Structure 1
Amino acid sequence: MPKMELYQVPAGSLDAWIAEHLQPSEEFQLQVKDTVRRICDFLKETCFDDIKVFKTVKGGSAGKGTALKNNSDADLVLFLSCFSSYRDQMENRAAVLDTVKQKLNRCRQTIDFSVDVEVSQPKEKGTCPRSLSITIQSKKRWESIEVDVLPAYDALGQVTPGSKPSPQVYEDLIQAGAGPGEFCTSFTELQRDFVKRRPAKLKNLLRLVKHWYKETTSGLPPKYALELLTIYAWETGTKGTENFSTSEGFRTVMELLCQYQELCVYWTEFYDFQSSVIGTHVKRLLREPCPVILDPADPTGILGQGKSWDLLAREAAVCRDQLCCRNGLAPIRCWDVQVPTPRRAPSHPHL
């Protein structure tokens, strides 16, 4: 679907357009849910001989409730007994993936889809694959979903909604000295729940932003960074209300993207500055050149550094002049969102 179709949608018709063009069909969502359940059952009950699967967690857009019609993704994270540390995960991940691939190929006939299985290629030479990619294609519709199976170290253990993880979890993560977001899979539950609990209308705004993003130039900042920026705009611009204008929200996100060189966004829901190890690490990241958007579930996850934000800002500037962001000749009103900067960080509840 060309992005120009979105640009020709009147601002007042965005909600109906999202429902018709971006929301996945209920039938396909049920098929995906059933197929992912089958894969989970296989991985927990059949796949491993001497490895225990502590739990499986569905993340990605399917897990968060923000999947797009015709194309969505799910992360199926396996928390395994063979990983007793972050280092174990790094060293043994490739062997685990190889086992999963071999076993899954043998049981494909039990899954009610045409399923393609291939190990994803590492992004950098010399690195091991991080996931097994499974394409689930509907037989009745032009809808498909990418399921990435990711083995992970169970750093969090039992997750209790509404409570902070032990600071020791994050201290160990930081002291492991890995790259940004290297072990983010260990925090999939927190990442998922951070989005999943949001109101349905905000999830539709997230769908709209993701659709716009997918139609822009490749090599841009990660999609997750835009999801977080959209949630930030909604939290601060509407005080978290469920009754808001989709067009106002969309134009606010475009406006923030145009001001990317001033952005510094983070939350203190799962980690804060009380621990000297965590506090020192996070403060160092906040001094990085803007834009800085920190993963609320993973304090090592600084998103979008060195990416082509200027290209995204250029497209956002084009977008805010289109019908979808205008009320006749006048621009749609933006929410009152103060652009967060490191200088204002101490006084802001989310910064």
Structure 2
Amino acid sequence: MQELRMTKYQQENKFIKDFLQPNRTFLDQIKKAVDIICKFLKENCVRHSNYKGAGGGGRWWSTAKGTALKSGSHADLVVFADPLKSYTSQENERCNIIKEIHKQLEACQQKDFEVKFEISKWKAPRVLSLTLKSKVLKLKRNVNFFPMLGELKSDSTPSPRIYADLIYLHKSSDALGGEFSTCFTELQRNFVCSRPTKLKDLIRLTAWKQTEAKGASAPKYALELLTIYAWEQGSGAQDFDTAEGFRTVLELVTNEQDLCVLWMVNYNFDDEIVRSFLLTQIQRTGRSTGDVGGGDRWCWHLLAEEATEWLLSLCFRDGSGCPIQSWKVPVRII
């Protein structure tokens, strides 16, 4: 792949188009694969199983958001399990749903696709990981199945009760941070997919940069949010300078310890329980969003070091060799 660091200024869009954007054939194959799997889940895991839990539908999320990378070989498919009506029921029944999907896929794989399952090290796995291969579609993908609450499969703003219940569970049990994050995947998709096409291309560029970073990593969705934040605060235009946007995101990454961003889109301070929890999170030192930012589980400091080096790249210098300016974006906004 062409080395972006040596790409001249204002050639970033061509780089994205040539190397990062998936083509129509790839997108059509993904759509067909999702249709096959979703049809299978509805007709087999619901109609012909002892456990009526693995139905409702699914999404291939990076493609649905419009941010998929051309070279991506990994995908998450979320299964809306209709009987799951609470976080507790998801925690208790998730393993049964995964076992049922596993069982039905094994019985059906000779018809439309071949699957190879990864053995989970957990007695009660939260996800079913497999490699999907289709001879008809000429497609091979690593797939993770996540059963989730059907109650949150909605385009409307969730009731504060949804968050209050999660906060209560977080405080009263040993549930890990981010354990129920897949319940909010629809909201994540809606938050990203409504954005301008060029912003999604900038998200692709940011995600690609992370995959190329040596030893450095951060949650993909956290970088998506950081890119959206940079655009909202620094530009907001449908058409913008990609290099300026990319430089802004990298500069924000170099300030990763001080970042504090909050959107009042799917929740607010009206509910006392939610308000108290949000204020507590905001006041914490370091990264407060454990499920999105990843806390110390991810090497943000290494990514920040990589970003500092990248800011010296040729793609951030104009025709006269002077550094281009980034957008003026505050590190903290609450």
- Give TM-score scaled by structure 2 length: 0.89
Q: Give the SS at the match of 2:75.
A: strand
Provide the residue aligned with 1:259 in structure 2: 255
CA distances 1:242-296 after superposition (whole Å, capped 9, x unpaired): 110111100111111111121101211001111111111111111222344x4xx
Cα distance in 2 between the residues matched to 1:258 and 1:37: 41
Distance in 1 (CA, whole Å) between partners of 2:329 and 2:279 is 23
Partner of 1:187: 184
The correspondence for 1:23, drawn from 21, 24, 29, is 21
Q: Is the 8 A contact 2:53 2:97 kept in 1?
A: no
| Structure-2 separation of matches of 1:51 and 1:304 | 34
SS of the equivalent of 2:11 reads: helix
Matches within 5 A, 1:109-188: 109-111=110-112, 115-119=114-118, 121=120, 128-136=124-132, 144-156=140-152, 159-160=154-155, 163-177=156-170, 178-188=175-185
* Cα contact 2:218–2:293 (8 A) shared by 1: yes
Tell me the residue number matched to 1:297.
Answer: none
Q: Matched residues in 2 for 1:174 and 1:104: separation?
A: 35
CA deviations over 1:154-190 (Å, ceiling 9, x no partner)? 2325x23xx4211111111111223322111111110
Return the offset for 1:207: 0.6
Q: Give the Å deviation of 1:55.
A: 2.5
Q: Which residue of 1 aligns with 2:243?
A: 247
The Cα shift of 1:205 comes to 0.5
Percent of aligned positions with the same letter in both sequences?
A: 39
1:45–1:210: structure 2 CA closer, same or farther, 3 Å change rule? same
Change (3 A) 1:136 1:11: farther
Q: Is the 8 A contact 1:76 1:147 kept in 2?
A: yes
**2:270 — aligned with what?**
274
More displaced 10-residue stretch of structure 1: 319-328 or 201-210: 319-328
Please give the alpha-carbon distance, in whole angstroms, between the structure 2 residues aligned to 1:120 and 1:241: 46
Aligned partner (choices 36, 39, 44) of residue 38 of structure 1? 36
- Once the two structures are superposed, what CA deviation does each residue of 1:54-105 show, in whole Å capped at 9, x if it has no partner? 6323153122111111214432222223423211211222222111112112
Letter in 2 for 1:172: D
| Residue in 1 that maps onto 2:203 | 206
Kept after mapping to 2: 8 A contact 1:247/1:324: yes
Counterpart residue identity of residue 305, structure 1: G
SS in 1 for 2:151: coil
Equivalences, count: 325
What's the secondary structure of 2:45's corresponding residue?
coil
User: Is 1:67–1:73's contact at 8 Å kept on the other side of the alignment?
Assistant: no
| Cα RMSD for the two superposed structures | 2.4
Equivalent position of 1:60 in the other structure: 61
TM-score (norm 1): 0.85
Q: Do the aligned residues in 2 keep the contact of 1:205 with 1:246 (CA within 8 Å)?
A: yes
- CA distance in 2 between counterparts of 1:250 and 1:142 reads 34
The equivalent position to 1:336 in structure 2, one of 328, 331, 334, is 328
- Partner residue of 2:313 out of 303, 311, 322: 322
CA deviation string 1:123-168 (max 9, x = no partner): xxx56322222434576999743332111122325x23xx421111
AA aligned to 1:205 is L
d(CA) in 2 for partners of 1:236 and 1:284? 24
Alignment match, 2:101: 100
What code does the residue aligned with 1:19 have? K
1:8 aligns with 2:21: no
Q: 2:302 and 2:129 mapped to 1: Cα distance?
A: 29
Preserved contact between residue 67 and residue 201 of structure 2 (Cα < 8 Å)? yes
| Gap regions ≥5 residues in structure 2 | none
Contact 1:66-1:203 within 8 A present in 2 as well: yes
Note the C-alpha offset of 1:302: 4.5
